[in-house]
């Protein structure tokens, strides 16, 4: 069964600290993996998109990694800011361009 599992479900960190969010998938075939940030009450915003051959991709303080062998991805946030408080959603594109969504990780950055 095609699934995308994210961990942790929620996370609280102090401003300035780093954190890493995990995404494990069992989707096959695999086309690409995306990370979205969704602020409360707003639509998701794309952070990164990675294909099979890409191991790492950065977008400012956000760095995503992908291990296609173990079917794992991570999103690392460096020097967190209060504005990083949001839900982070991992989405995997599988066969026939089917999108499989993770449940998301809710991140709270406290001062």
Which residues of this protein are in contact with another protein, per CB under 8 A? Answer: 31-32, 34, 42-46, 49, 51, 89, 91, 93, 96-99, 101-104
Q: Which of residues 76 and 106 has its CB atom nearest to another protein in the complex?
A: 106
Shortest distance (Å) from residue 102 CB to another protein = 7
| Residue nearer to another protein on the CB measure, 19 or 50 | 50
Please state, in angstroms and rounded to a whole number, the distance separating the CA atoms of residues 73 and 64. 7
| C-beta of 61 vs 98, nearer to another protein | 98
Q: Which residue has the tokens 């099979």?
A: 52
CB of 5 to another protein, least distance (A): 12
CA distance 74 to 56: 9
């Amino acid at each position: 069964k095609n699934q995308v599992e994210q961990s942790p479900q929620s996370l609280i960190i102090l401003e300035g600290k780093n954190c890493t969010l995990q995404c494990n998938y069992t989707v096959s075939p695999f086309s690409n993996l995306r990370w979205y940030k969704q602020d409360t009450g707003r639509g998701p915003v794309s952070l990164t998109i990675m294909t099979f051959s890409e191991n790492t991709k950065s977008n400012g303080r956000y760095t995503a990694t992908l291990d296609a062998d173990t079917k794992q991805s991570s999103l690392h946030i460096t020097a967190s800011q209060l504005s990083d408080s949001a839900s982070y959603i991992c989405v995997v594109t599988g066969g026939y361009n089917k999108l499989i969504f993770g449940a998301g990780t809710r991140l709270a950055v406290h001062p």
